[in-house]
Amino acid sequence: MRGNLNHQAQAALLFLLGATVLHAGLTDLHLRYVKAGLRPLLLLSGAVLIATAAATVWYAWRRPRRAEGHREPRVSWLLTLPLFALILVAPPALGSYSATHTGTALREPLGFPDLPAEGPLRLGVGEYAARAVYDHGRHLRGRSISVTGFVALDGDGAPYLVRMGLNCCAADAQPVKIALAGEVPPVLRPDTWLELTGAYSPRRTTDPVNDGPVPYFEVTAAEPVPAPADPYDDAWAG
């Protein structure tokens, strides 16, 4: 911005950028860009940018005014438009297109947390897949299980339930998939979010993209649900 924008414009842009980052961090908007654990860093970054804007205004106010040889072009204020777009237009979460063009990123965890001894289990797609593949379903057999994710169909029309996992931000999102069997709804639309109830299946297949392991899930009931506020799952992908 130096050479094109004066200190007032610099301060305004820094303030708007800081306010935008704070807005994203204080709402669920940041979940479309970064993993939930980075929220404190976003809030800190926004506060630093706003403080920097205030310091710029103070510096410009204390600095003796000098004759300026030119006026900054007003078109430079168009740099604020991407900031307003960030606030007003949230990008959609990555969905079935990314999932079907990227191989499963399921990784073997160091261990598994304890599960309730009784009652139905509510698991994430990644946790179910990891337990089914790497723990061979030892603590899943005979249990009623619920999982929630979005639908993806491969090139042959085979259905998967998917969650995208994050290491850091949406740019590195990768899918974890489970294949569906049993009472699968006859008509499935990609990107539809479903809550599936069913049971562990010992069947396995491989991802057609990277030959990664994909376990099956035996569906007994399916119900459409709204997309969650945080569409990503950062625990089981790598």
Element (H, E) at 213: strand 213-224
Q: Looking at residue 133, what is its pLDDT? A: 95
Q: Domain boundary at 88, 106, 121, which? A: 88
Same domain as 111, residue 18: no
Specify the higher pLDDT residue, 235 or 142. 142
Q: What percent of the chain has pLDDT above 70?
A: 69
**Measured between alpha carbons, how far is 93 from 224 in angstroms, rounded to an integer?**
18
Q: Decide if 231 is inside a domain.
A: no
Q: How many domains does the chain have?
A: 2
Across all residues in the chain, what is the average pLDDT? Answer: 79
Same domain as 24, residue 69: yes
Same domain as 210, residue 116: yes
Q: Looking at residue 56, what is its pLDDT? A: 72
**Measured between alpha carbons, how far is 113 from 92 in angstroms, rounded to an integer?**
31
The closest alpha carbon to 231, from 81, 80, 33, 52, belongs to 33
Average pLDDT over residues 56-63: 71
Same domain as 108, residue 56: no
Q: Does the pLDDT value for residue 226 go beyond 80?
A: yes
**213: confidence class by pLDDT, cuts 50, 70, 90:** very high
Same domain as 141, residue 38: no
The closest alpha carbon to 125, from 174, 166, 176, 169, belongs to 176
Same domain as 202, residue 128: yes
> What pLDDT, in 10s, does the model give residues 166-176?
776 666 778 99
Q: Decide if 123 is inside a domain.
A: yes
Q: Decide if 100 is inside a domain.
A: yes
Q: Does the pLDDT value for residue 1 go beyond 60?
A: no
Specify the higher pLDDT residue, 153 or 21. 153
Task: Output the pTM of the full model.
Answer: 0.69
Average pLDDT over residues 146-163: 93
Same domain as 109, residue 83: no
Contacts of 16 (CB under 8 A, 6+ apart): 80, 83
- Phi, psi at 187, each rounded to 5°: -125, 120
Residue range of the domain that includes 52: 7-88
Specify the higher pLDDT residue, 47 or 88. 47
**4: confidence class by pLDDT, cuts 50, 70, 90:** very low
Same domain as 47, residue 163: no
Q: Does the pLDDT value for residue 161 go beyond 80?
A: yes
> What pLDDT, in 10s, does the model give residues 73-125?
555 555 566 666 565 555 566 788 888 888 998 988 888 888 988 889 999 99
Q: Which residues pair with 152 in a beta bridge?
A: 160
Q: Looking at residue 150, what is its pLDDT? A: 95
> What pLDDT, in 10s, does the model give residues 22-41?
766 666 665 666 666 666 77
Query: What would the two tokens of residue 82 be?
Result: 């991407």
Q: Looking at residue 160, what is its pLDDT? A: 96
Q: Looking at residue 95, what is its pLDDT? A: 81
